[in-house]
Structure formats: C-alpha cells, structure tokens
Chains A and B, each alone.
Chain A
Amino acid sequence: MLYGYAGRILRVNLGDGSKEVTDTPEEMAREFIGSRGFGSKILWDELDADVKPFDRDNIIVMAAGPLSGVLLPSSGKISFHTKSPATGGYADSNMGGHICAELKQAGYDAVVIEGRAAEPSYLYLEDDEVEVRPAGDLWGMGCFEGEEYLKEELGEDAQIALIGPAGENKVKYACIGHDFGRQAGRCGVGAVMGDKNLKAVAVRGSRTIPLKDPEAVYEKGKAMYQEVFDNPGFLEWTPEGTAGVTDWINEIGSFPTKNFWTGYFEDYDKINGRAILEQILVTHKGCFSCPIPCGKYSTGTVGDEDFVVEGPEYETIAMMGGNLMLDSIEKVAYVNKVADDLGLDTISGGNVIAFAIECFEKGLLDEEMVGRTLEWGNVDDVAYVLDLIARREGIGDLLAEGVRYASRQIGGGSQQFAIETKGLEWSGYESRWAPSQMLAYATADVGAHHNRAWGITYDIAVGRDALEGKAEKIVELQHLRPLFDALGICRFPWVEIDFDLQHYEEIFKIVTGMDFSWEDLLRASERIWNLNRAFNMKHIPGFGREDDSVPERFFEEDVPTGPAEGHRLPRADFEKLLDRYYELRGWDVNGRPTPETLAELGLDFVIEELDLQ
C-alpha cells in the first residue's frame, strides 16, 4: 500500500461520460514521485506525436503529490498537464488554493481528462461520485461569477477550478482560475479545457490521507510550523508577499519595462508591495496549510468601477505594471482583475499587450486595426485589448495566438521584440545582465518561465558578468525547484524564508515510508526533466538547440536605462553557457539527451520510442 498518496487515479472521458478508477502504480510513485512527475509520465505514455493541442485526443492531467494536503507548511499545490497550445510541447502549470488537498481527500492522486464533451459541461467529483454535468448558464461567465455560481449550487466548501471566456475561446494563454484569485496561469492549460467544452472541475472530498506514521508526521509537521514562526523571514516576507521583491528587482535593473525595452521603471514605488499594503489591501489570503500567505486580496476604483481582486502579486506587477508602464497599484490591480475574470494569464497577457503597444508605436498596428489608439501606461487601453483577446474580436483574434505567431503575421521586424521562448511569453525578469537567468529562460521545459530556475539571485551573488558556475547552478535549480512541484507542495517556505531542505527529506520518509534520500528525490526530478525534454523532441518536429533561444532584442540592444544600462549578454557567451549546460546534462550539442544519459536515468522506454540507439 502507498502512504501519502491517495492511492487512486481517476480517468474520465468527457465524450461518453465513462470513468475508470485504478490504483496509483507503485512503480510510477517510486520513479516519478507525483504531481509534476505523474503528469509528465502520463502525457508521455498517452499522447501520440500527431495529437494536436486542440485535438479531441489531447488530455488534461490534474495531479497532486505525495505531500499534498499533508500537515506541513504550504502543502497545497496542484498541477495541470497537457500538450501546450502555446508551444506545441510539454505543458504544466500549477497553482495553490485548496483544490489540491480536496482532490487528495476525495481519494485521487490524479485525474486524467480525455475526449471532448458534446456540450459545455463541468466535472463534479465527490469521493466516489463522478459526474459530467451540463454547464448550462455557467458557460460564458467570468471566473468570479462562475465560481460564485457553482459555490451557490454545490456549497461553499466545494473547491472549483474553472475557465473564463478566454478559455472558452481557446486563447493560447488562457488560464485556469480557482478560489477567487489563484491561477494555473501558464502554457494555455485553460484553452485545452475550453476546447474540451469543460468549464469547470468541482471537487469535494472527505477522506483521510493515509500516512505511514501519523504520530511522527504530526510531531514533525508541528516542528516545521514552529520553525517558520521563529524564522525572521516569516515577519519580514509575509506582509507584502511576492510583491515585496519589486524594489529589489528594479534596483538591479531587471524589472521588465516597456516590453522588456529596459529593466528599470521610474514609478516602481507606486506599484510595489508597500503600495498594496497602504492603498488597496483587504485581507491576506492564503493557500491550504500555508503559514506565509502571499495572496493579497485587494480593492480599488478605476473610472466608475469598484472592484476586488486577489493580487497583484509580483509577476502581475512586473508584466502589467512595469511592462505596460501603469503607474499606480490601483491600475495594476484593476487590469489584474480584468485578466483574472476573463481567464487570461497575466504574465503572457501583459507581455502580449506590451508587444501590441510597441507595434502600435512603431506603426505596425494602427487605429483602424485596433479600434483605438494604444499608448504606454493607459489602463483603459489595456482593459480594452484584454477584452478583445478573450473574445477573439478584431485584433484580439491575432493577439490571442501569442507573440510568436502574432509577430510572424505582423512582420516589419516585430519578431525582434516578440519576447518569447519556445512560443511561451517571458515572465517578469529582464535578464540581459543576468546570464544565469537568461539560461534558465532559454532552457525551461515549458518555454520562458522563471519558476523552473530562479537564477537571478545567483547572478547577483557571484557577479553578474561571470559565466563560470552558472550553467551548473541552473541545472541544480532545475532539479531542486521542480522537485517541489513533484512533491505537490509550494517552494516558498524554502525560497522566500530560507527554510531548511532537510525537513522535506525527513517528512517524505515518514509520510510515504519510502526510504528516499534527498539525492534520490533530486534524481527523480532529473528523470522528469529529461522525460519532458524527450516529450518535446517527440512532439515538436526538429526540436533542439534552436528552441533554447532567447529573443533577438536581448542580443541586439543594450539595456538603455537604469542600473543595467549598457549591458547585454554577448551571443557568444550565451552559446558558451548553453554548450556547458548540455554537457552537464549529458545531452549532445543539439540539446538532445544521449542514449547513455537516458539509460542511466532509467528512461530506456524513451530511447526505444525515439529510436535513439
């Protein structure tokens, strides 16, 4: 018997409403841990190379990990996996809130969603009850109204993940919303739900999560909380949450501003964490079991509209604040609310709109094409374009495809400032003077996302121009950070308040009974990393080194203003870093894992399927 795991995997076919419950395979648990690892393995096993993201045969896996829902700090992270409409490759996107613990308590480690419903539907799970229900009036609703509607129908304690109009209209960066403000934002996971006619997943669970040694877990869990309380970071970091990093990122000249034109925003102190606390905060809002709530529930008025929103957190401040040059926290919170309600990722959304404004500025888009003029720092322009995108109306239909596709259509040199990697828009760290972070963006499995390896602190610590040791650091972080995603927990206690990693090794043992060292767990994380690489090789024709690229702007233009002024990473240095990175990973110069590397990681089935011998 597995401990820590709920022990079952649910498979639902939306087309015919059939369902199947199987035991969670012990071998998969040992080799791929859970959550991110389960999603990766299931996608690999079940998706043929010719399945397109919007084919009926694409699947969505929502998965929890062995530590999800367990009594330890911040154990409520769920991940969604699918073939990405943004990149055509591997996608995962995770979020906190309460639905992960709820899913475990309903008795499932993962739900595999197949097929396409004939009519708009939602999936209801309550312990053994599984039902595909008609969405009815729910279809078309924004995320807030939709969640409220479902909670009224199902009860306040039902946990709901849902899409907004952007997901329904298959915007390539549509997100999945939950708990009035949490999002699985990236890679277009919400668009695949929309394609499947699946408006929402509602979960309610009553079961006890089986633990190998409940008494030991209770003692260890309590000790972990106590250590958080005693940690100075607890009181320093919690009040502002992720927004607290704004000042520092701006100070080091890495705050994306004006479509990553520069890394410094003059008005940063009007949109930082302090501004949230002083001007718009309603309450601190946390995820399941989390003692350091980063959610800041806020309120404001823009024009004649009063609104509430969870946020903005750092990424939204960066991508919709600095990058769009909005100069008040209320305005950033407002566009945050508009995007969340429409079900659009604020990272890609902010990036795409910045791209559109720069196109407008350069005469590549005009008033006739857009329906109005566009300028930096105009909150109404942003809300207007977000709405067009979510509804795929006018220029919104093109912008809904993301900056890679849009720049190819618009032409006129716009590809140089289309800030994406692998087709996924960059998130909130301008990296021309941060080689580690640049490499992290280039090599992240899902496309340009910071959370696989947050290397920028390392750049600052060891010297920003240095290259030595940086590929090593990124490889290390790409195993360590995503390991939290495989365990199904949040990394913030470690990242933000420097919580001792040793705790996780210890609690993993007493929760699961599996005698894994931290090194064993990191090894599993490396296995997952390589499997995702192989997924991209299988699904993206010719996938390799060229896909680990960064936008031309970063090689062609020095940072023009601020603390990083005059800096950029020479292309030759970037290639050097990439060479070293591949070498460390045991990949060839084209970025493809060698058969030896795969065999060493126990991924022989990959060698066979990709015919690499």
Chain B
Amino acid sequence: MSALRLAVNQDNCSGCRVCQLVCAMEQFSENNPKKGRLGIHGRFPEPGKYEISYCDQCGVCADVCPVEAIEEHDDGYYWVNEELCTGCMLCVEECPRDVMFTHPDRETPFKCVDCGVCVTYCPRNAIYDADDPQRTKYKEFEEVQ
C-alpha cells in the first residue's frame, strides 16, 4: 500500500505543466518538464480538455521487468534501480497508463515515486491526494469555479 494515493480531477486541469516542472526539479534538479513523471495531454480543438496520466503504483512494470530492476519500496511505491536496469524498455511498453518515461539524456526509464510535489503545486487541485483531498491551501477553489 502506497503512502500517497494520487487522484485526479481531469476537468480542473488547465494544462499548465507546473506538475511536470516541479517533478523534474524535485527528482532530477533540472528545469525540464520533459523529465516529469506524469503526463499532460491536450485534447483540442474537440472536446477541449486535458487528460492527466499518472502512476497508481500498480506494479506491472515490476512484474514485467526481466532483470527485477523495479523494486517495491517500503512506502509502497515502485522505483527503478538504475544499477540493475538494462534499459530494455519493456516496462515502458507494458505500462498500462503510459507513465514509464524516457528521455534522450537517460539510458534508463524513470517513474513516479510518490513524492507528492505535484499535488502541492498543482494550481488547480487537478491532481490531489486521495486520502487527503483537503490538503490544498485553497479549499474555496471548487466553490468559485
């Protein structure tokens, strides 16, 4: 059981990518949303919405990894052990939510480790903590929309 259960309200997403920016800064210390560990997909011109793809720590990546490089952490999330990973990218292909990410700079894939920084800085409560939906500091948000 993961310590943090991410949940999304797709309708709130405005596509700003702050989640990807803070994610890449938190995890890689790089200003590069292309190294974020969740996905934002615009569906325009119709129907006119954004879709967020995020990891629910289902563990399929760990199951399919031929070298057991993806391990379950005590806190319940799965993480890529880069020392074991061979970069075969099978996990990327098999991930049911398309949230095993790759980047030309990196030989191994990377994934969400439930740090929760996206939840803290999403300006629109579009991605939130399922166990603590009131975690946000601007609870009135839903009321004024």
Contact = CB atoms under 8 A, between A and B. Distances in A.
Interface of A: 69-71, 98, 101, 105, 144, 147-148, 156, 179-181, 205-209, 211, 214-215, 217-218, 221-222, 225-226, 228-230, 234-236, 239, 282-293, 295, 297, 299, 308
Given A156-B41, A222-B121, A228-B123, A71 B21 contact: yes
Interface residues of B, number: 40
Interface string B4-23: 00000001111111100110
Interface of B: 11-18, 21-22, 25-26, 29-35, 41-42, 44-50, 103-105, 121, 123-124, 137-138, 140-141, 144-145
A105 B32 contact: yes
A68 B31 CA distance: 11
Contact of A144 (B14, B45, B124): B45
A229 B137 contact: yes
9 contacts: A69-B31, A207-B32, A208-B32, A214-B25, A230-B137, A284-B12, A289-B18, A290-B14, A299-B48
Contacts of B12: 284
Query: Interface SS of chain B: helix, strand, loop or mixed?
Result: loop
A293 B14 contact: yes
A503 to B, nearest CB: 16
Contacts of A297: 44, 48
A235 B144 contact: yes
Given A222-B121, A228-B123, A299-B48, A286 B14 contact: yes
Given A234-B138, A282-B48, A283-B50, A214 B34 contact: no
Contacts of B42: 156, 179-180
A283 B14 contact: yes
Contact of B145 (A98, A239, A287): A239
B46 to A, nearest CB: 6
A71 B124 CA distance: 17
A208 B103 CA distance: 11
Contacts of A205: 34
A319 to B, nearest CB: 23
Given A98-B17, A239-B144, A222 B45 contact: no
A225 B16 CA distance: 13
A291 B123 contact: yes
Contacts of A181: 44
A214 B104 CA distance: 21
Contacts of A70: 31
Contacts of B25: 71, 214, 217-218, 221
Contacts of A284: 12, 14, 124, 145
Nearest to A288: B17
Given A207-B32, A214-B30, A290-B16, A283 B48 contact: yes
Contacts of B124: 284, 291, 293
B11 A222 contact: no
B17 A235 contact: no
B141 A235 contact: yes
A206 B22 CA distance: 16
Nearest to B25: A218
Given A180-B45, A286-B16, A295-B14, A225 B123 contact: yes
Contact of B45 (A98, A148, A215): A148
A214 B29 contact: yes
Contact of A292 (B26, B104, B123): B123
Nearest to A239: B144
Nearest to B41: A156
A105 B105 CA distance: 13
A228 B16 CA distance: 15
A466 B9 CA distance: 50
Nearest to B123: A291
Nearest to B136: A229
A179 B31 CA distance: 22
A282 B49 contact: yes
Contacts of A239: 144-145
Given A180-B42, A295-B14, 10 more contacts: A156-B41, A208-B32, A221-B25, A222-B22, A225-B121, A228-B123, A230-B137, A282-B49, A286-B16, A289-B18
Contacts of A283: 11, 13-14, 48-50
B28 to A, nearest CB: 8
Nearest to B31: A209
Nearest to A225: B121
A129 to B, nearest CB: 12
Nearest to A230: B137
A214 B26 CA distance: 10
A287 B21 CA distance: 13
Contact of B47 (A209, A229, A282, A287): A282
A291 B16 contact: yes
B45 A208 contact: no
List 7 A-B pairs, minimum CB-CB distance, nearest first.
A291-B123, A286-B14, A293-B14, A208-B32, A180-B44, A286-B16, A208-B30
